[in-house]
Amino acid sequence: MWEAYTGVVPRRQHLAGYGRGTTNHIERFNATLRARIGRLVRKSLSFSRSQKLLDACIKLFLHDYNATKHPH
């Protein structure tokens, strides 16, 4: 147990998440982002010259991803 967590995280949540599948969906989405947005891949030729352009690119991807995955 890490000492830093004892004052922040309630005692009932001091269980490790390994093997319980609690982060699978997050890791899968991160892999999807890296696969579909070249700007997020290390040493990529497609990069953003500013944080503003990177933010816009990610927001556009998320909008399209959510609209096609969960249409209303």
18-29 pLDDT, tens per residue? 656 667 778 888
Percent of the chain beyond pLDDT 90? 3
List, as one string, the DSSP characters of 43-71: T-S---SSHHHHHHHHHHHHHHHHHHHS-
> Distance from CA of residue 24 to its chain's centroid?
11
- 3-50 tens-digit pLDDT: 666 667 677 766 666 656 667 778 888 888 888 888 877 666 777 778
